[in-house]
Chains A and B, each alone.
Chain A
């Protein structure tokens, strides 16, 4: 099972908490997914609204580790200040660092990401950077202190799956000892299974479960997919080949 900054998590599934039809469905989806980590955010409360306080009570009842994010931050300063607020609110040094560089694709800003990761690590944070699968970027993130990398599968919320399997495989080969998480872009359990089959330690998703017609069933599907992927990875899969090879013995076939 994956270990992040010295903490072992009993699941390869990390699940977001946004966009569910209701708090009850969110809680049920979490139970069925057996996810070990919940991502959360910090946002304004409107007026005398108690929504944030109610949400916090719900999250505490889930009994999972909490990973706050800096979603929506487009500058280093915004991301750093948001991380500081999140640390106090959620009482954790963990931060899923998002520094968004492009409004259409929500692609990470690699330059801002390195700067923010360095500042936050220096300040005692344990940074989970939402990044691309770029090897150079990931090397720099590790150099500034990141002990986890979270490359996207595809842009956030698209459900397109693993857009660059070669890149993700290269990253796994290049960083054999760094926990790797495919974060964002997954739409189906088969895509999550594929990521784990590639040797990824975990997957992080939200929309695929929350926006499914039946979020609870989809959560269960993802739970089984990551288990299947892990078994396949441990089992040392056969090498693919271009030409057919009969599985039924040729020897002994009747001559007719």
Chain B
């Protein structure tokens, strides 16, 4: 299925958000996530099933004013 991750379309078989992060090498990274514009807490990632066309955002700490 196709998942849109940070604006880019990826083909993935990851059944859930937790698996997708592992697939992307960010399983243990300090990141926060949302699916279809809704925040998904770290503890809920494995319970968050993914479907074709889902929009995933993965963000990290960055510089800010």
Contacts and interface: CB of A to CB of B under 8 A. Distances in A.
A181 to B, nearest CB: 13
- Chain A interface size band reads 35 or more
A42 B61 contact: yes
Contact of B37 (A40, A77, A156): A77
Main secondary structure of the interface of A (DSSP, over half): mixed
Size class of B's contact patch? 20 to 34
Interface string A30-54: 0000000001111111001001110
Interface string A9-26: 000000011111000000
A207 interface: yes
Interface stretch (A81-89, A142-150, A194-202): A81-89
A120 to B, nearest CB: 12
A17 B56 CA distance: 26
Nearest to A77: B37
Contact of B62 (A42, A77, A88, A156): A42
B57 A18 contact: no
25 contacts: A16-B63, A16-B64, A18-B64, A19-B63, A20-B63, A39-B64, A39-B65, A40-B64, A41-B64, A42-B61, A43-B59, A43-B62, A44-B57, A52-B30, A53-B29, A55-B61, A55-B63, A56-B61, A77-B37, A78-B37, A81-B38, A85-B34, A88-B39, A89-B60, A206-B65
**6 smallest beta-carbon distances between A and B, as pairs:** A52-B60, A41-B64, A16-B65, A206-B65, A85-B32, A84-B39
Interface of B: 6-7, 25, 29-34, 37-39, 41-42, 57-65
